[in-house]
Amino acid sequence: MTDRPAHPNRDTPMENAFSDRITDVPKSFIREILKVTIDSSIISFAGGLPNRLFFPVKALQKAANDVFEEAGAEILQYTNSEGYLGLRQFIAERYRQQEGLEIPVDDILITTGSQQGLDLLGKTFINEGDDLVIEEPGYLGAIQAFSLYRPRFHPVAVREGGMDTTALARVLRERQPKLLYTVTNFQNPSGISYTDENRGAVAHLIRGTSCLLIQDDPYGDLRFSGTRKISFKHLLPKNTVLLGSFSKTVAPALRLGWLVAPPLIMDKLVIAKQASDLHTDYLAQRILHRYLADNDLDAHIATIIRQYGKQKEAMCAAIREYFPAGVQATNPEGGMFLWVTLPAGMSSMALFEAAIKKKVAFVPGTPFYVDRKDSNTLRLNFSCSDEATIVEGIRRLAEAMNEGGVR
């Protein structure tokens, strides 16, 4: 009788079959936390979600109907990897109007959310052990995406006003980083923005090196105070890649973002995208383009930021009223988050456990660092709760702080 092959689930430990790269990458910390907040009685400041009240449901529904009526079977076919030309033209024109940037359409690649842009850059540039500069605290989605390619992370602190240029200069002097990843406007998680002066100082340090600066800007349009800051594409045109997204301004479920890069880099990125998914959802691209052509995006964004601004002010006012004196918080000019720092030695993980008992949730700061098991920081989201809910949630969180000995 012929021997049967061993059953993979019984005789061969499957944990030994996984690649080193996937074993090294942790689960999304926020996705795990969100499981805890399913309870409707919990006030959640944990998610990084746009407010669903502002999704343009009727307008997108009409755009979908119009596209099906006019284009029919064409919109259900395979398409090119670079993305729908009309959508790329819209993005190029918006860069010209909003930021004074002349971006050739061929320098724009439509991606499956800006998260795919991070993955494509990782595929294209990072070999195991390569040096990569990342903000501290930094966007955990970027940490997760780049970790698959096993770089050597060099965290550089970001504070009110931007990146620590002294620390950045030291990394550039001692190492040769391939990439520098930044979220320069209303940073996730801290909410801070780089000043024009800080951007100029960072650009001065990068200029003349082979380091590629990635400016990820998913929140840039969500400004409710202050003035727009200069793009690194103006300061470092040859060393800058731009990432953008429609997730925060139209709807995240469309999963539509984009990447801007010069031709030499774009050629490689297109190859990486072809190997990944051939092309981004063509139907979604056509529906979004029709929506953008038929509606005033800036008027829609103005509605969003009026409400987000009120919600941010409600959170900051409640923090001033209820939080213990030793707790500090950022006051962002836009975006969806602010950053809280507890007194030294306090644990945000311990506070999270206490807060859940008070029926309020947040994201502890730990996953926003690449080398910490605990921290005294935490992220609060203000975009998804109305003002009254925000005030009550902050009051509950303050109770948890006070009972935990925060002073």
Domains of the chain in start order, with CATH, are 14-55+299-403 (3.90.1150.10), 77-294 (3.40.640.10)
For the purposes of burial, counting CB atoms within 10 Å of the CB of 389, is it exposed (0-12), middle (13-18) or buried (19 or more)? middle
Summarize pLDDT for 16-52 with one digit per residue, the tens.
Answer: 788 888 877 766 666 666 676 677 889 999 988 899 9
The confidence score (pLDDT) of residue 109 equals 98
- Report whether the peptide linkage leading into residue 252 is cis, meaning its omega lies within 30 degrees of zero: no
Q: Which of 30-39, 79-88, 118-127, 158-167 has the lowest mean pLDDT?
A: 30-39
φ, ψ of residue 153 in degrees (nearest 5): -75, 140
Q: Distance between CA atoms of 39 and 31, rounded to whole angstroms?
A: 15
Residue 137 contacts residue 189 (beta carbons within 8 Å): yes
- Using a pLDDT cut of 70, give the percent of the chain over it: 93
Residue 368 Cα distances to 105, 112, 158, 183, 382, angstroms: 34, 23, 12, 13, 18
317's tokens:
């006012």
Give mean pLDDT, residues 281-300: 98
Torsion of CA 304, 97, 231, 260, to 10 degrees: 90
Phi, then psi, of 371 in degrees rounded to 5: -140, 30
What pLDDT, on a 0 to 100 scale, did the predictor assign at position 223? Answer: 98
- Mean pLDDT for 295-312 is 98
* In the predicted structure, residue 9 carries a pLDDT above the cut 60: no
256-260 and 240-245 beta bridge pairing:
antiparallel
Please check the confidence at residue 12 and state whether its pLDDT lies above 80.
no
Confidence of residue 140 (pLDDT cuts 50, 70, 90): very high
Angstrom CA distances, 79 to 118, 259, 283, 285, 299, stand at 22, 18, 10, 11, 31
Rounded Cα–Cα distance for residues 183 and 114 (Å): 12
Helices (H), 25-112: 29-36, 57-71, 85-99
pLDDT of residue 264: 95
Query: Is pLDDT of 4 > 50?
Result: no
Is pTM beyond 0.85 here? yes
pLDDT of residue 39: 78
Confidence of residue 207 (pLDDT cuts 50, 70, 90): very high
CA 401 – CA 353 distance, rounded (Å) = 11
Among all chains, which residue has been given the structure tokens 């644990």?
347
Residue 245: other Cβ atoms inside 10 A: 24
Give the SS3 label for residue 225.
Answer: coil
Q: What is the pLDDT of residue 406?
A: 66
Find out whether 140 and 30 touch, Cβ atoms under 8 Å. yes
- The average pLDDT across 254-268 equals 97
Average pLDDT estimate for 264-278? 97
> Can you tell me the distance from the alpha carbon of 88 to that of 90, in angstroms, rounded to the nearest whole number?
5
